[in-house]
Chains A and B, each alone.
Chain A
Amino acid sequence: DQQVKQNSPSLSVQEGRISILNCDYTNSMFDYFLWYKKYPAEGPTFLISISSIKDKNEDGRFTVFLNKSAKHLSLHIVPSQPGDSAVYFCAASRRSAGKLQFGAGTQVVVTP
């Protein structure tokens, strides 16, 4: 039962442009959402998170938007840099349940 979905397996974007990654979830009880970045042969690295009481959180080049009515969140990276080329995972949790559920990931390639 895939409760967190990333429907785009890959995304190609030019250096300097905006990268927009999307994530949908089905469980309305989720109250905490995170984005992780993963390079090959490494563990996921935490990027940014957002609580369900907010609709936007910003950290440097990374902004996460949450639309609870649509059960949708997105990650914006501006401007995109070559080092951003990686797989990005969306994750969600219900704090009372204590476990993260991950999407399948989106491979981002930033081209010069």
Chain B
Amino acid sequence: KAGVTQTPRYLIKTRGQQVTLSCSPISGHRSVSWYQQTPGQGLQFLFEYFSETQRNKGNFPGRFSGRQFSNSRSEMNVSTLELGDSALYLCASSLEGTLRGDTQYFGPGTRLTVL
């Protein structure tokens, strides 16, 4: 079974731009969660989508948004990029999400650099 895939793997943007990251979950998984990893803050939860609905949200500003499609693929969008948004963005999928205690499986991440 293929794992979680994320595209692109690397991205360089400038301040003020917007960016869209993509995540394809493991086949059959309906929950997709997004995390931001930075050296200073570690791994922080952004949001979780299940059946095209946002089920949970972390403490991030409204510039961070996401969506999920009917095939469970998910996209994350960051608008008006700031230098502090430079990070590794990780996507994780699970069968039903952590509400059911399902294990989350992570993709390789997208490394975003904001100049």
Residues of A within 8 Å of B45, CB to CB, are 99-101
A89-B35 Cα distance, complex, nearest whole Å: 14
CA distance A41 to B101 in the complex (A): 27
Segment of B13-21, B79-87, B104-112 in the binding face: B104-112
Number of chain B residues close to chain A: CB under 8 A:
26
Q: Mark B36-60, 1 if CB is under 8 A from A, else 0.
A: 0000001111001000000110100
Among A42, A97, A98, the most chain B Cβ lie within 10 Å of the Cβ of A98
Cβ–Cβ contact A100 & B104, under 8 A:
yes
Q: What is the count of residue pairs linking A and B with beta-carbon distances less than 8 angstroms?
A: 62
B90:A44 contact, CB within 8 angstroms: yes
Within 8 A of A (CB), among B82-105: 90, 92, 97-101, 103-105
> Is A102 a contact partner of B42 (Cβ separation < 8 A)?
yes
The chain A residue sitting closest to B106, CB to CB, is A43
CB distance from B104 to the nearest CB of A (A): 6
Q: Note all chain B residues with C-beta closer than 8 A to A45.
A: 106
Contact count band on A: 20 to 34
Set of chain B residues within 8 Å of A51, measured between Cβ atoms: 101
* Nearest neighbor of B103 in chain A, beta-carbon distance: A46
Is B56 a contact partner of A97 (Cβ separation < 8 A)? yes
A41 to B98, Cβ gap below 8 A?
no
Asked if residues A46 and B4 are in contact (CB atoms below 8 Å), the reply is no
Task: Enumerate chain A residues within 8 angstroms of B98, measured Cβ to Cβ.
Answer: 32, 93, 95, 97-100
Q: Which B residues fall within an 8 A CB radius of A? A: 4, 6, 33, 35, 42-45, 48, 55-56, 58, 90, 92, 97-101, 103-109
Residues of A within 8 A of B (CB): 32, 34, 36, 41-46, 49, 51, 89, 91, 93, 95-105
